[in-house]
Structure 1
Amino acid sequence: MTQSPGKAGRHAILSVLAFTVRHWRSQKNLVAAIVAGVSIATLSEIVIPIYAGSMIDAVARGPGAGAGAWRALGAMLALAAVAVGCRQAYFLAISRMTTAVMTQVAEDAFARLQRFSTDWHANNFAGSSVRRITRGMWALDLLHDTLLLALLPSIVVLLGSTVVLAAHWPLLGAIVLAGTAFFIAGTALLSLNYVAPAARLSNSWDTRMGGALADAISCNAVVKAFGAEAREDARLAGILAKWRARTTRTWIFGTNSGTAQNVFLLALRALVLGYVLLLWSRGEAGAGDVALVLTSYAIVHGYLRDIGMHIRNLQRSVNDMEELVAFHDQPIEVSDKEGAGDIAVPAGRIAFEHVTFHYGGHAEPLYRDFSVAIEAGERIGLVGRSGSGKTTFVKLIQRLYDLKAGRITVDGQDIAEVTQASLRANIAIVQQEPILFHRSLAENIAYGRPGATMAEIEQAARLANAHDFVVRLPKGYGTLVGERGVKLSGGERQRVALARAFLADAPILILDEATSSLDSESEHLIQEAMERLMTGRTTIVIAHRLSTVRAMDRILVFDKGRIIEEGNHASLIRHTDGLYRGLFERQALELAKGWAA
């Protein structure tokens, strides 16, 4: 059932306010100091009109009443000094509090983002996620200013001034109170039901714009390869056109809302000032009383005029924070169980025990009652057509997904009962397309073992046949590799990834065919390094080219989530009708045609 715009807006405000208050608890002393400082400074402003009225009365009585006028001036200056001092104090406090909370919010959002499932990351643009976090952070700054520096003093002034006026003229106090309440309620309704839905839509297109920019920029090599710069320009122009239309509509709605508020304020001003003039004409108010009302209402009017802007800012900051708050409401699909301990992997035996698993949204499971064991130190090749379950097999070993039934054990320990970090620290992975950070080569190699010495990093690079090319670079191990390693060739990236695996020195090794698209020299160097890396480890190789699994201890042939054949190369090749033999012969024929050409 779709929520109405008003209900959706109220829900968003409550969610964002609850989120904000939770983070305020960590800074409760600073929040208390800010509230106290704002309240004292604002109350000082409320009292000043009383002394302004006393000064006018003293001046009206002539020079003989000069002492009273000077006393009123002294009181007004003292109150102004108190307000200035309090403002300085609470601005310093809110600066510290806001930066502390913004830091905490960004850290929390990033931590959750890192722990979201593989599927979540596959379905969300990195650029959009970054935009949600940064936009939400700065919206939090605006929200703090709006709540603590704008709305809080506004409420104190409006209530205090109403009390002061009501003490002299109850009907005038009632007029100001009723007008204030009506104005605030009307402004809130306009924001929730009129402006907020438009702002929410413009924010969604702002997020899409960030995602489209990041997508095109991160894939710039492909754009250049196909001469598609103009095509990408046109694609972004289409998204920007939508963003512009939605954002313009939001700003127009905000302008219309502001005009409606100003019209009401004009009517309220005419009513209040007309009433005090009526009192004066009847002799029920003197010059000092008129000065008191004029000064008090000028303050009230200023705060009321600003309160419309503050509510618009509140609505804007809530809209900008909605997606950030949603990160904290998003469940982490694969999480450590409470009290989970670290895994110990002395040998590296892996067992799938009656495993049933299917991807979300798929009606049929990929694995159903699936069982297989890999002995410690055994070298296993995974073979099969695309989509047969090879990649899922290694993802489940890493516990990137949770099972529907059954369990996976490593050295007899259920991987669902231990921490994910400790499990993955015992698994080294070299992917077909290794991903490197835009950091130095030394940092990339040491990623699997933080704190490794330079000597250990260099030794790992030598074992991976990477040291020679690294030292030829102008900055050697200090060379930055570019986003995702784009400054390096495919073979160089693979050797850096192998060096990372060597340094991690994990008992379980997963290799996603790392030589399928390399030149013969790079392939030879990487094959040589891979042979060294596999020694003494439980190794699983996802084979795209079957020549790489001929030396495996055992080959598992997958088809639609089942192992339909297993054995070493020699035994499987003898099965004349077997899938493995068919795949091997097809690849051999394609290779022969390639050589003939």
Structure 2
Amino acid sequence: MTRFRFPRFRIRWRANAFSDVLGFTFAHWRKQPLLIAGLAATMLTATLADVLLPLYAGRLVDAIASGSTDRDAALSAALSAFGALMALGVGMMALRHCGFLAIIRLTLNMMTDIAGDAFHRVQRFSTNWHANAFAGSTVRKITRGMWALDLLNDTLLLALLPSLAMLVGTTILLGSYWPVMGLIIAAGSLLYIGMTVSLSLFYVAPAASLANQWDTKLGGALADAVSCNAVVKAFGAEDREDARLSRVVAKWRSRTSRTWIRGTNNGTAQGILLVLLRGAIIGTVLLLWWHGQATPGDVTFVLTAFFLLQGYLRDVGVHIRNLQRSVNDMEELVALHAQPLGIEDKPDARPMVVGAGEIRFEDVTFHYAGHETPLYKDFDVTIQAGEKIGLVGHSGSGKTTFVKLIQRLYDVTDGRIVIDGQDIAHVTQSSLRGEIAIVQQEPILFHRSLADNIAYARPEASMAEIIAAAKLANAHDFIERLPQGYATLVGERGVKLSGGERQRVALARAFLADAPILILDEATSSLDSESEALIQEAMERLMEGRTAIIIAHRLSTVRSLDRLLVFDRGTIAEEGTHEELVRLDNGIYRKLFERQAMDLARGLAA
């Protein structure tokens, strides 16, 4: 029985994850400096109210305590302290409200920019990157990182900044009355913060980072199974996929459980330290009172300050844990942003304009990453403008790579590819691909309407132009028979359509593109005879007046082409017309053609 093995994650939490994520965040802060400055000033001013609150609470108690000797003076002092407490409360609430409105604007601006930047980069990553990445995992990295940014901004600007201001302000205020009290608070706060940061960075964060990796893998496994549900059903493999997912979930659960337990242990250690600090502060103020160095109001002042301080300290622990969590959640998004695109436009890249459509490979050497032996070595070939070329050869001989290099989905290792005298490495990729129409063997459609899919080649096209392209592709009749016609949604990747219908929609898209260069990954090899005839007719119509390159699977479909290139291990072993190649003794093309002819004869006999 086959055993399925999952890729082993050799993930180690990077010590510079915090600096990478915070640097990424601060770079976006710098785009809105006035908003950041105003927000910080607002929150710091609001925190000042909390720092002064215990002072006026103490004065209120002293005023009440002195009421037995001079009630009028005591009442005046009490009302003055009461008025100050109310003013501080109202001012704090107003400033915090303004701060919350400001951070909503800041965070939404940043989330919008980050989502757009991430999508921009993912769309432009190389074909090789997309071939090795789970779509579900990529989406999870982006969305999780976006929402982590919301928590990160709240933690830094609404939580940690006011908390640290409160700690510093309270330490200075109490220290100005009793230096020993300021010393105790400063030492206790530094010890508490140091322990919290250390536990978060070196105890909780590594486990959280690994848990996030498995969270990403879980999203990828779900997306992989759901997107391939037709294959699952075809083989009755629902139970097998359940078992496969359960193994991923078990690993995710184990890593997540360890993270949560470590977070709980961190919180308990913080609570113990707060209890010890409480004992030190209350014991010290009692001694001061006993020795006549503190009034009942002073005791109230210290106790109120401590309880506020304790709340802020407890919150600092929570905020640091939130900071650690948000950094872990953003780590993959930041890494995605930092990853090179792979295939990039050169700084001096210019738009390509193709006229005739001549294509030349000049001394091209190319090998895939990780392969020591090049697929192409000093490879030369010229395709004349308007020529119709067929690419023939065994699987892996280099046919598909040939057309991918023309589209610059990969960069050549050496040499160059020239279209109408323009080196494709020195033009913009979008303009290059805009001059090439491609119809793939398995066309991919968006889960949008048929009209939208056809018009994808030229979004500004009118409905009349879309219908004209569909007619040229022999697609109009079947579209008209659908209940919603051109407004019909085709399903994810076009699953609601048959293979022949998808191919005709893809051909209509190519007709509408009206590009001077056409690449056809022959689309008739797995279709019924009626669909094949319709598509073959549309393909011949589409090739007229264009430089056309056809990857041939059925050799009977390339007999009328101008020239055939027979690939063998990255070289052109034979070239010529169909009639010339079938006459070559022991030729590769002749053997392939005879084998297909024999297979067809056996099929007809059966």
Scaled by the length of structure 1, the TM-score of the pair is: 0.98
Q: Residue deviations 1:268-302, cap 9 Å, x none?
A: 01001100001001111111111111111111110
* Residue 26 (structure 1) shift: 2.0
The answer to whether residue 270 in structure 2 is matched with residue 261 in structure 1 is: yes
Match of 1:557, SS state, is strand
User: Following the alignment from structure 1 to structure 2, what is the Cα–Cα distance between the partners of residues 392 and 460?
Assistant: 29
Larger mean Cα displacement after TM superposition, 56-65 or 422-431:
56-65
2:247 aligned residue: 238
Question: Which one of the candidate residues 161, 164, 167 is aligned to 2:170?
Answer: 161
The answer to whether residue 183 in structure 2 is matched with residue 174 in structure 1 is: yes
2:194 aligned residue: 185
Question: Which one of the candidate residues 518, 523, 535 is aligned to 2:544?
Answer: 535
The aligned runs of 1:379-390 (5 Å cut-off) are 379-390=388-399
Question: Which one of the candidate residues 335, 343, 346 is aligned to 1:326?
Answer: 335
Whether the 8 Å CA contact 1:9–1:196 is kept in 2: the answer is no
1:50 aligned residue: 55
1:590 aligned residue: 599
Question: Which one of the candidate residues 121, 129, 142 is aligned to 1:120?
Answer: 129
User: Following the alignment from structure 1 to structure 2, what is the Cα–Cα distance between the partners of residues 159 and 230?
Assistant: 60
The change in CA–CA distance for 1:184 and 1:10 in structure 2 (over 3 A counts) is farther
Q: Which letter maps to 2:594? A: E
User: Following the alignment from structure 1 to structure 2, what is the Cα–Cα distance between the partners of residues 466 and 28?
Assistant: 55
Whether the 8 Å CA contact 1:431–1:512 is kept in 2: the answer is yes
Whether the 8 Å CA contact 1:573–1:581 is kept in 2: the answer is yes
The answer to whether residue 570 in structure 2 is matched with residue 565 in structure 1 is: no
User: Following the alignment from structure 1 to structure 2, what is the Cα–Cα distance between the partners of residues 548 and 173?
Assistant: 89
2:294 aligned residue: 285
The aligned runs of 1:146-545 (5 Å cut-off) are 146-545=155-554
Match of 1:391, SS state, is helix
Q: Which letter maps to 1:129? A: T
1:13 aligned residue: 18
* Residue 4 (structure 1) shift: 12
Match of 1:540, SS state, is strand
User: Following the alignment from structure 1 to structure 2, what is the Cα–Cα distance between the partners of residues 9 and 585?
Assistant: 59
* Residue 425 (structure 1) shift: 0.2
The answer to whether residue 28 in structure 2 is matched with residue 23 in structure 1 is: yes
Whether the 8 Å CA contact 2:350–2:426 is kept in 1: the answer is yes
* Residue 375 (structure 1) shift: 0.5
* Residue 576 (structure 1) shift: 1.6
2:4 aligned residue: none
Q: Which letter maps to 1:516? A: S
* Residue 9 (structure 1) shift: 5.0
* Residue 29 (structure 1) shift: 2.3
Q: Which letter maps to 1:284? A: Q
1:72 aligned residue: 81
User: Following the alignment from structure 1 to structure 2, what is the Cα–Cα distance between the partners of residues 28 and 514?
Assistant: 55
Q: Which letter maps to 2:446? A: F
Match of 1:577, SS state, is coil
Whether the 8 Å CA contact 2:11–2:210 is kept in 1: the answer is no
* Residue 97 (structure 1) shift: 1.1
Share of identical aligned residues, percent? 66
Match of 2:392, SS state, is strand
Match of 1:26, SS state, is coil
Give every structure 1 segment of 4 or more consecutive aligned residues whose post-TM-superposition deviation is greater than 3 Å: none
Whether the 8 Å CA contact 1:9–1:193 is kept in 2: the answer is no
Q: Residue deviations 1:324-362, cap 9 Å, x none?
A: 000111111100000211001011000000000000000
* Residue 48 (structure 1) shift: 1.5
The change in CA–CA distance for 1:35 and 1:508 in structure 2 (over 3 A counts) is same
The change in CA–CA distance for 1:531 and 1:4 in structure 2 (over 3 A counts) is closer
User: Following the alignment from structure 1 to structure 2, what is the Cα–Cα distance between the partners of residues 526 and 171?
Assistant: 90
* Residue 51 (structure 1) shift: 1.1
In the alignment, structure 1 segments of 5+ residues that lack a partner are: none
* Residue 53 (structure 1) shift: 1.2
Match of 1:37, SS state, is helix
User: Following the alignment from structure 2 to structure 1, what is the Cα–Cα distance between the partners of residues 560 and 191?
Assistant: 82
Whether the 8 Å CA contact 2:53–2:85 is kept in 1: the answer is yes
User: Following the alignment from structure 2 to structure 1, what is the Cα–Cα distance between the partners of residues 358 and 35?
Assistant: 54
User: Following the alignment from structure 1 to structure 2, what is the Cα–Cα distance between the partners of residues 477 and 224?
Assistant: 30
* Residue 27 (structure 1) shift: 2.2
